[in-house]
Amino acid sequence: MGGCEGVKGMKVTRRKFVSSGSACAGGILLGRLGEFSIGDSRLQRECAVLDLRGQCALRESLEGYASVAGKGSVCVLGEARNRARGSRITIVPGVGVLDQPTASALAVVARAGGALLLESGAGFLARCDFAAHQKMLQGLFNVVINEPVDAWAEGEAMPYIRYAWPAERAVRDFSRVVPVLAEDSQVIGRLRGLAVAAKKGVGRGKLIFLGSPLGPALRAGDAEACQWLQALSSTI
């Protein structure tokens, strides 16, 4: 990474995401990318899941969204605009450091209408890569984020992201979360009072920013995570 330090000067390591032990409604079977379940039919019709390939910082998240939205929902950047026209929600899992063409394409998709669900993977980036991620979000969408926070703060109970929109759900998080300063946005999710998810209007569309990765919870079969995504598809 060109000599980047780890976040806060330490090596960044991933925590192993723990399964909730519960299955999503509809009998979703989870597995590796390429072993997709039938999934939720509404999500298959209404969602496009964008595979950023090397610019995705958390492949487990891509696998999670694909497992519930179906194999046919996954597309690459060159297909994103066309797919977005036929989808109400474009999901971008585990966003890391984006090059300018990718960032510009996402901005076009967001402003064209529908919803762009942008899930930050910044908790898994080195310090200098985080700074680039932070600058990109502010420049494109006027979304201001702070440095990642370990969800497992010392002495705290099991961490939950408590969503207020589009449905009230509590989703466990086992990683690092990215706080968002939502001056011109509506906070839709918090971790112990810290804003980590927000939504705002962008052009003719809507941006939904997740500073806590939801995809790994979907991959693990977390019922609350699945219900939240299903509620989103019903609301947009």
- Domain tally for the chain? 1
- Residue 134 maps to a domain: yes
- Residue 64 maps to a domain: yes
- Residue 146 maps to a domain: yes
Which has the higher per-residue pLDDT, 200 or 72? 200
Q: How far apart are CA 162 and CA 171, in angstroms?
A: 7
- Residue 166 maps to a domain: yes
Q: Is the pLDDT of residue 96 over 60?
A: yes
- Residue 9 maps to a domain: no
Q: How far apart are CA 59 and CA 66, in angstroms?
A: 11
- At residue 112, the pLDDT reads 85
Other CB atoms within a 10 A radius of the CB of residue 158 amount to: 10
Confidence of residue 119 (pLDDT cuts 50, 70, 90): very high
- At residue 11, the pLDDT reads 38
- Residue 1 maps to a domain: no
- At residue 171, the pLDDT reads 96
Confidence of residue 87 (pLDDT cuts 50, 70, 90): confident
Contact status, residue 123 vs residue 177, Cβ threshold 8 Å: yes
Q: CA separation (Å) from 78 to 46, 75, 81, 83, 233?
A: 19, 8, 7, 10, 24
Q: Residue 208 is part of a domain; what is its CATH number?
A: 3.40.50
- At residue 37, the pLDDT reads 40
Confidence of residue 3 (pLDDT cuts 50, 70, 90): low
Confidence of residue 156 (pLDDT cuts 50, 70, 90): low
The per-residue DSSP string of 10-42 comes to: S---PPPPPP-S-PPTTTPPP-STT------HH
Q: CA separation (Å) from 35 to 31, 32, 40, 125, 179?
A: 6, 6, 15, 28, 33
Segments forming the whole domain that contains residue 223:
25-235
24-28, 45-49, 120-124, 217-221: which range is least confident on average? 24-28
Which has the higher per-residue pLDDT, 37 or 234? 234
- At residue 41, the pLDDT reads 63
Which has the higher per-residue pLDDT, 172 or 32? 172
Q: Nearest to residue 125, comparing CAs of 52, 197, 58, 218?
A: 58
- Residue 11 maps to a domain: no
- At residue 80, the pLDDT reads 59
Q: CA separation (Å) from 22 to 113, 203, 223?
A: 34, 38, 6
pLDDT tens, position by position, 16-52: 433 333 333 333 323 333 333 435 666 777 889 999 9
Identify the H or E element spanning 75: strand 74-75
26-35, 130-139, 146-155: which range is least confident on average? 26-35
Q: How far apart are CA 34 and CA 175, in angstroms?
A: 25
Provide the token pair at 189.
Answer: 């999710």
- Residue 113 maps to a domain: yes
Q: Is the pLDDT of residue 13 over 90?
A: no
Q: Amino acid identity, residue 65?
A: Y
pTM for this one?
Answer: 0.82
